[in-house]
Amino acid sequence: MIRRNLFPRPLRALTAVLALLAGPAFAADTAAPAPALALAHESELKACLALAEAKPDAALERATDWETKGGGHPAKLCHGLALFHRGDFAEAGRLLEELGAAVAPGDRRAGASILGRAGWAWLRAGDSTRAERLYGAALESQPGDADLLIDRAIARAEGERFWDAIDDLNAVLAKDPQRVDALLYRAAAHKALSNTRQALADVAQVLELKPGDPEALLLRGTLKALTGDGKGALDDWKLVVRIAPDSPPARVARTNLERAGEPIPAPKPEAQPKPPEAQ
């Protein structure tokens, strides 16, 4: 299954649910107005989240200190994400799962968002069953959420339940047929089931929507190799290396070419700006 980045969605989406996390829960502990508290905790959470990605150890220390000072849910959220980015996936999953369950009764959308992060942490920890369960819980609060359906499809595919993964991806694509990531994941699931024709059809649709996409070209090359089109496979892998030489798909393509005894093509030169016309 084609994998997402460290987190399936940008962390800025978490700050959208901060109204609950940084609001009334803090008003009882201080004389400061609740709006001022919300702004202060929102600012601190944004800074802590940015630090969690760049320097997770420093973010963990910051979040722990913030928790001792009454940081509440926002501090715990940063704590969990710092653990995730440090690679402590199971510990992050447990903390985020507890936080999501605590937040959900007051704000279903916020709880679903955090449970989704917990699911991704458990998936990285190698527990696809627990991840799928958490995505299911999140979907109970946010039925039909496309990102959560895609995340659950990845968890299901990790557990080799490819038809169930395809069901989730079909639901996404029924609402948004141009969702490129869902098409790619469905192609990968069909490939795992040896449904090569369906996989190629999905990849072709991706390349119509996003010409030159390195992941799609890499997968198309692999599918061509499986169907006996060796030359077509090599051409696709070479194209990946030329147009996206520093990408993860290019690294895989180079390995495939080396195994086939093929020369590695040079990257495609970047277009040079035209000199200004003479006056």
How do the pLDDT tens digits run along the chain, 279 residues long?
A: 545 544 444 444 454 455 445 444 433 344 444 555 556 677 888 899 899 999 999 999 999 999 999 888 999 999 999 999 999 999 999 999 999 999 988 888 889 999 999 999 999 999 999 999 999 999 999 999 999 999 999 999 999 999 999 999 999 999 999 999 999 999 999 999 999 999 999 999 999 999 999 999 999 999 999 999 999 999 999 999 999 999 999 999 999 999 999 999 888 776 555 555 554
The span from the CA of 140 to the CA of 157, in Å, is 20
What dotted CATH number matches 178-264? 1.25.40.10
Closest CA to 132 of 108, 151, 117, 160: 151
Copy the structure tokens of residue 272.
């040079």
DSSP secondary structure code for residue 28 in this structure? G
The span from the CA of 54 to the CA of 257, in Å, is 34
For residue 196, with 0-12 CB atoms within 10 Å meaning exposed, 13-18 middle and 19 or more buried, which class applies? Answer: middle
Could you give the count of Cα atoms lying within 13 Å of 78 in the half-sphere of its Cβ?
Answer: 34
In this structure, are residues 146 and 175 in contact, taking their beta carbons and an 8 Å threshold? yes
Q: Does domain 1-159 have CATH number 1.20.140.150?
A: no
**Farthest CA pair distance, the chain:** 72
CA distance between the termini of the chain = 56
pLDDT of residue 5: 44
In this structure, are residues 184 and 219 in contact, taking their beta carbons and an 8 Å threshold? yes
pLDDT of residue 118: 96
The span from the CA of 210 to the CA of 204, in Å, is 10
The span from the CA of 184 to the CA of 166, in Å, is 11
pLDDT of residue 208: 98
Copy the structure tokens of residue 36.
């001022």
Closest CA to 76 of 60, 57, 54: 60
Domain range summary for the chain, segments of one domain joined by +:
1-159, 178-264
In this structure, are residues 115 and 134 in contact, taking their beta carbons and an 8 Å threshold? yes
For residue 195, with 0-12 CB atoms within 10 Å meaning exposed, 13-18 middle and 19 or more buried, which class applies? Answer: middle
